[in-house]
Amino acid sequence: MKERGEILFLVHRIPFPPDRGDKIRSYHMLHALREIGPVHVGYFADDARDISFAEDMAALTASQCVLMRERSRAVAGLNGLLRHQPMLVAMYDSARMHAWVRQVLRQRPIRAIVAYSAQMAHFVPRDLPTGVRFIMDFVDFDSAKYAAYGAEQGGVMGWVNRREGRVLMEFERETTLRADVSLFVSAAEADMFQQSARVEGADIRALDNGVDLDFFNPVAAFEAIEKPGAPLIVFTGQMDYRPNIEAVASFARDAFPAIRAAHDGAIFAIVGRNPTPEVTALADLPGMIVTGGVPDVRGWLAAADVVVAPLRIARGIQNKVLEAMAMGRPVVASPQAAEGIDAADSVHLVIASDPGEEAEAVLRLIAEPVRAATLGMAARKRMEQRYAWAATLSPLRDIVLGEAS
């Protein structure tokens, strides 16, 4: 039997605690990798809070390298321009991380390197030792996101995002040619990349996200919030992330007024960490609540009459949608937020394409509580059938070890 060896896992953001989209996938991937062999993890911290979790990470790893990410977007952008490098990559460039990776490869019997997100690919040496596999988990088709931003914008920022889309696409294409296997978060995302990149002979696959069905369970023990005496609509997400900011601003200004007109006391709660000034300002509108970070999002989801995900730009699978569905809540999502999720419109969730449709869909669910409850129960059942983490990550062992295709 072939010796399995050890794994080197490179992550752009500490995968603990699993409290935001990218960290949820990397956290569960780390646990799946630990079942294959000892895992050495190199990752970056955004702030002192992240650094405080290094001790928790030490208990999960054979060794670790944690570095504070210090480059701003402005500095990264300038470096990227000078070196024809994507800004996303320049933001995470680090001589110390490069050195640590080479040290681990010299000193440990590494069987595979798993790089998580495009910005970590450049830490994988081009002269890998014979027999060491390179698995690239792009997660999302990031260059398409920047291209979409650039198409919407004019001026300097439009140019910056269009350039990032082009240069990052070149980098993604070149990385795919180097990797033994390239992964994306859904079949839709993998197909879109395949069609755009046109990389002949590359092994490109989907490795779906999952949801923690024991944690996100309507019958689990969690602190409830007091339900208002009027309809409660909830959005959850990291509130310094541009697509989330644009989603709640659009819903608050263009969809929620129609809901308030029909239900005077209706509340729209924006639940998530690090709300920007643009988001906190929405609390001044009638019926709006901006909570900031909360200890446990489940109380808000459980209390919601409807959960909304009105994103206009979205890549991959939206964890916020999976979590709300796992909690058995009726969800109204944009086509972009629903893309990649194996669920049927009007059976497991409701898809609405613009603010008018979103308001109409929410009002119908409020008016038809039996239909809303049925939709929520079907959503929970679909998550149980399709999105348990153990099932979605089950192909990872063979991908990492190269024992099946």
Contact 301, 326 (CB under 8 A): no
Same-domain pairing of 162 and 25: yes
Residue 378: which domain range?
Answer: 232-386
Contact status, residue 22 vs residue 46, Cβ threshold 8 Å: no
User: What is the value of pTM for the model shown?
Assistant: 0.86
pLDDT at position 405, please?
46
Structure tokens, 83: 């070196």
Pick out the chain residues at pLDDT < 70. 1-4, 71-83, 404-405
Burial of 167 (0-12, 13-18, 19+ CB in 10 A): buried
Q: Are residues 244 and 370 both part of a single domain?
A: yes
Are 93 and 101 in contact, with CB atoms under 8 Å apart?
Answer: no
Cβ-contact 304, 331 below 8 angstroms = no
Residue 98, domain member (yes or no): yes
DSSP code of residue 43: E
65 & 146 share domain:
yes
Q: Are residues 249 and 157 in the same domain?
A: no
What's the pLDDT score for residue 19? 85
Shared domain check, 336 and 194? no
User: Does some domain include residue 116?
Assistant: yes
Are 149 and 245 within 8 A, CB to CB? no
- 259-304 pLDDT, tens digit per residue, is 999 999 999 999 999 999 999 999 999 999 999 999 999 999 999 9
Residue 371 lies in a domain: yes
Q: Is residue 217 part of a domain?
A: no
Task: Please tell me the predicted confidence (pLDDT) of residue 155.
Answer: 87
Question: How far apart, in whole angstroms, are the C-alpha atoms of residue 349 and residue 227?
Answer: 22
Nearest to 16 by CA among 67, 51, 40, 68: 51
**Whether residue 282 sits in one domain with residue 189:** no
| pLDDT computed for residue 82 by the predictor | 64
Q: Assess whether 255 and 301 both reside in one domain.
A: yes
Question: Is residue 286 domain-resident?
Answer: yes
User: Is 329 in the same domain as 256?
Assistant: yes
Overall number of domains in the chain: 2
Q: What is the pLDDT of residue 41?
A: 98
Whether residues 164 and 285 fall in one domain:
no
Same structural domain for residues 183 and 303? no
Q: Which residue matches tokens 């490869």?
A: 105
Question: What pLDDT was estimated at residue 2?
Answer: 43
Instruction: Report if residue 95 sits inside a domain.
Output: yes
Same domain, 39 and 100: yes
Nearest to 350 by CA among 337, 297, 340: 337
> Does residue 157 lie in a domain region?
yes
Provide DSSP, 11-36: ESS---S--SHHHHHHHHHHHHHHTT
Residues 145 and 275 in one domain: no
- Find how far residue 37's CA is from the centre of its chain: 25
Output the domain CATH number for residue 395: 3.40.50.2000
